Amino acid sequence: MEETKTPNFDRIEKKSWGYMLLHFDRLHDKLFNFTNVLIVGYFTLSQLQEFNIRLGFIFVPLFNLVVLIYIEYYWMNTNRLETAVKEIVNPDRKMGLRYNKLTLISLFSIFLTFIVTVIFLYFLFA
């Protein structure tokens, strides 16, 4: 009788974490670029007479940009910690908490980008 080979689940799990982090990184890059486009759009709308928008609204997409920069900084620190994971006491818990926080901040940035886009579209079409 031939034995069936079971896949190495640890290897699959590690690859999956890498893929997930890669997708988050790509998503943050796209949000970063889109936020830059929104900043230009807010500047443009504030300078056009027919839209009657105050320049102070530029702080809405700028705040979103600051959140995205914080995510990149947090991501960098997480990667720095991963290089010394053998020295961390209880690394599964520590890294799990960092990944959970990074996921929540990423979700917040997606939601914030959506809100900034809705506000921009409101000013554009109102």
pLDDT in tens, 47-74: 887 777 777 778 888 998 999 999 889 8
CA distances from 83 to 11, 49, 77, 93, 109 (A): 18, 53, 10, 16, 26
Q: Where are the alpha helices (DSSP H) in the chain?
A: 9-47, 59-83, 91-125
User: Which pLDDT belongs to residue 33?
Assistant: 93
Please give the DSSP secondary-structure letter assigned to residue 3.
P
In this predicted structure, which of 4-13, 69-78, 98-107 has the lowest mean pLDDT?
Answer: 4-13
CA distances from 123 to 18, 54, 56, 59 (A): 40, 11, 13, 15
Higher-scoring residue by pLDDT: 52, 105: 105
Q: Where are the domains of the chain?
A: 28-125
Q: Are 109 and 57 in contact, with CB atoms under 8 Å apart?
A: no
Distance CA 73, CA 29 (A): 13
| pLDDT-derived band at 23, boundaries 50, 70, 90 | confident
Average pLDDT across the chain, whole number: 81
Global pTM value = 0.74
pLDDT of 4 higher than 60: no
